[in-house]
Structure 1
């Protein structure tokens, strides 16, 4: 069992002490420091101007700790075997560390991807409810087998469309790749496929099987390369490749795409399927009066509790994202300050009204990924899919779902600042903004469509249709979209 982990898990769920503070030199806020006649605590060195916005409760001021603790990055924490204390970091680094730290990160140590030994026989199922029942039984059997070897109350088990609808989902992707390869590259170039975040390696096998079975000439010129940040998943993918018939066509590169430093001049297809949702984001709040952006910083105290601070001094990455978005994004994108200013002023006059806007989570890592594609894969064609909306998200614009599993039950929480590694932090993608940013940063044209529309174009739908006419592959993931470059 995992008893050493249960206590910190429940402390993360029920004992979070999160404070909102503003940092450094915002003299315009001085008149809003009072709370129902009580002076909020300020740092002993008042020149630093560290303070707490309005809150229902008076909270201990921790500005001294903030000043003393060093600023760290996820990269600096990658060699640590224990979760850090007495440090501060940007929100994107906290999320990166939580999800990808090699020693305690979610994907490195806790995440398990559901799989079945055989595909579901959809034509033999009565309807979608029958599929859900069969899926539930398969889930139970899969986790029972895992518990028989290594019991765990905190196993983070999740599924993907690749696994649920194999091999049909992978075959739809394969048809898209082969058709577009033949239109512009065959026979002058090889079919080179890069897949980022390949999970169990199922998509790789499904695509290569389908190309071999349907187009031997293209198969002879196919190369498949996986870029995988997780050492455990990379090893699983190597095992899959070595045991299959395509070993000579597969290369597994165990590194982060953000550490990629090899120039690839050849035309290639780049698959990013359900990976943008786990790209870390920066957390921004705005002064409703001046509309100035402030960047979130997380301080971790000596007990391991988390405290939010905000600074008006944006780091270059967040500042660049906001500047590019303001220039290239189509009008009307989601923003915390869309409410007219007069209404914001009226709201500010109410007791206990927060001094800052609700948070906005900006996809700075997505921007970095597009930079990598532009600089290192100039002849790429991107195919990505992800969620355009998510239920049960925390408060904020473009806010994530934060959840864990305990004793096989999913538990959502209301903050991203929780025990690192034990929680999935899953973001929706604003496809309009992403599309505009991608075109601006890479110069390539794109097409965006709903997930269902993509599958209607490239899947053989009769293979996943039940006897009633229900098609789970179309009906599931209706909150997902697909973007492709041309």
Structure 2
């Protein structure tokens, strides 16, 4: 448990120079996902974070540090960081897996950026998702046909959020409660019913009656998606329901308990809860199945790469944690096998696709920029989804006949600097506080990434050999939902109008 001194430090977080409230965030919806409304304006975040942290990114200002000579491959910035080369040489290299048994945050170690992010989010003892997570539930479904327009929907949603959190405070007051929701909760049961229609239609075309309808879901939250899907199939197609099996793979023990409770509402014999990480999966599943991964890619750990602007050579980022728990980035020429493999696969799979990249500008432009006085000696960072690539390998090896259905954000506003860079944020007194670096106190901040679905489609195809289709959130649900269910009196469709910055990818 964190000390009162640590908690007191957090009270000054919102006024710190690197923590500033986004002017786009609206107080009544400050707990939502990062999504874009039909106006295109970004509003509030998906998982708005964490228990009371100390001042977030452990970085030093120019006046606080010595200006000794820096490491050859330490990123040069205008902060002139201390030379930590000797510590970098002698500190042991650790991984997130090796830190799982630790109850205290590590010091005097170094690790790859993906391990730092993985440890920050998922460590069983101090990780972000191991703390007291509260998932918003709207209670009764919204009666969209009775709502005038989107502003009124915002108001009603804000009222339900306040009511929901007030009830939690009556049980236990927590001024830094983690509270987030998914479109499953916001648009229940209509969101899940659209996905159910898609699965049943494709199941009947190619699998029925020779195979059961087997559904795996990863990261199922409260179990609402599972419950709504099974309710719909039972009500509309009893023959398919009789052949349906639903299996949830859930890393969180507390959420697994909630999912078991949800399954008990009439579907206990259809549901199996498997309380483990998908990355620990070792069972071979040869039978055809649908695999749901809704809003989970954004919290997969990423590696960070910077490039030498003159040679185009990639360097991989590592995080050094010193004796005081402060963080420093180092970049080395030697890429680990996972990052190296991702770059090779992407280079081949996406060779005909243009995508955002630190080396996308002409060489002469980069030469000019980086020869300027005080210019950094490496490019802006690029965050590469190595954990997502690992997930695709698991699907290929252990679920060879799967059909993936996934949805996530293809862009996020207010991200940290870089390419495919994350949004990093915490939450205090029901307000969202974004910061400008992923090097933050472990467990106190949400770190969520956008997904480049074009590149990921190429990588998925290269690893699994399966064909895919990518569509916008709006296009997918326009095809599979019933507009009269989520249309407001103004004619606006809430389900189609929200999440303009999300995409859907399915295996065909």
Using the size of structure 2 for normalisation, the TM-score is 0.88
- The match for 1:387 is 409
1:69–1:87 CA contact under 8 A, matched in 2: yes
Partner of 1:36: none
Please give the residue correspondences for 1:347-358 in structure 2 after superposition, counting only pairs within 5 Å.
347-358=369-380
For structure 1, the residue ranges without an aligned partner over 5 or more in a row are: 20-38, 44-48
1:247: which partner in 2?
268
Contact 1:110 1:421 in 2 (8 A): no
- Residue 258 of structure 1 corresponds to 279
Structure 1 pair 53–136 and aligned structure 2 pair: CA distance change class (3 A)? closer
Cα offset, 1:15, TM superposition: 6.0
Deviation at 1:55, TM superposition (A): 3.3
**What SS is found at the alignment partner of 1:283?**
strand
- Compared with structure 1, are the counterparts of its residues 55 and 484 closer, same or farther at alpha carbon in structure 2 (3 Å cutoff)? closer
Question: Residues of 2 paired with 1:55 and 1:96: CA distance?
Answer: 26
CA distance in 2, matches of 1:95, 1:18: 20
Deviation per CA, 1:317-359, whole angstroms, max 9, x where unpaired? 0000001111111331211011111111111221110000000
The Cα shift of 1:59 comes to: 3.1
Partner of 1:165: 187
Higher relative contact order (CA 8 A, sep 6+): 2
1:10-59 deviations in whole A, cap 9, x for unaligned? 4754662169xxxxxxxxxxxxxxxxxxx96348xxxxx64544433443
Q: Which one of the candidate residues 463, 477, 498 is aligned to 1:441?
A: 463
SS in 2 for 1:74: coil
Change (3 A) 1:57 1:195: closer
Unaligned runs of 5+ in 2: 14-52
Secondary structure of the corresponding residue to residue 97 of structure 2: helix
| 1:6 and 2:7 aligned | yes
| Structure 2 counterpart of 1:29 | none
1:221–1:278: structure 2 CA closer, same or farther, 3 Å change rule?
same
Which residue in the other structure is 1:204 paired with? 226
- Tell me which residue corresponds to 2:298: 277
Could you say which residue in structure 1 is the equivalent of 2:212?
Answer: 190
Who is 1:303 aligned against?
324
Q: Does the 8 Å CA contact 1:13/1:413 hold for their aligned counterparts? A: no
Name the counterpart of 1:473.
495
Aligned counterparts of 1:443 and 1:53: Cα–Cα separation in 2? 38
Match of 1:290 among 311, 315, 318: 311
1:415-437 Cα shifts (integer Å, max 9, x gaps) = 00111111111100001100000
More deviation, 83-92/198-207: 83-92
Q: Bigger CA drift: 196-205 or 233-242?
A: 233-242
8 Å contact kept, 2:57–2:437 = no
Q: Do the aligned partners of residues 445 and 145 (structure 1) sit closer, same or farther apart at CA in structure 2, a change above 3 Å counting?
A: same
Cα offset, 1:182, TM superposition: 0.3
CA change 1:386–1:321 in 2 (3 A) is: same
- Structure having the higher helix fraction is 1
Q: Deviations over 1:249-268 (max 9, x none)?
A: 10011111111000000100
CA contact (8 A) 1:317 1:364 kept: yes
Residue 286 of structure 1: how far off its partner (Å)? 0.3
SS at match of 1:402: strand
- Which of 438, 449, 453 is the matching residue for 1:431? 453
Where do 1:82-121 residues align within 5 Å? 82-121=104-143
Measure how far apart 1:192 and its partner are: 0.1
The 2-side partners of 1:109 and 1:119 are apart by 28
Q: Deviations over 1:152-199 (max 9, x none)?
A: 121111111000000010100110110010010000000000000000
Structure 1 residues 57 and 363: CA distance shift in structure 2, 3 A: closer
Aligned residue runs from structure 1 range 49-60, under 5 A: 50=72, 52-60=74-82
Q: 1:2 touches 1:153 (CA, 8 Å); kept in 2? A: no
Q: 1:311 to 1:203 in 2, by over 3 A?
A: same
1:31 corresponding residue in structure 2? none
Taking a change above 3 Å as real, the CA distance of residues 124 and 101 of structure 1, as seen in their structure-2 partners, is same
SS class of match (2:450): coil
Partner Cα distance (1:214, 1:181) in 2: 14
Deviations for 1:426-478, whole angstroms, at most 9, x for unmatched residues?
10000110000011111111111000000011111111111111111111101
1:398 correspondence with 2:399: no
- Residue 17 (structure 1) aligns with: 59
Q: Write out aligned runs for 1:349-388 (5 A).
A: 349-388=371-410
Number of residues of Structure 1 aligned to a counterpart in Structure 2? 462
Residue 68 (structure 2) aligns with: 41
TM score, norm. by length of structure 1 = 0.92
8 Å Cα contact 2:7/2:54 also seen in 1:
no
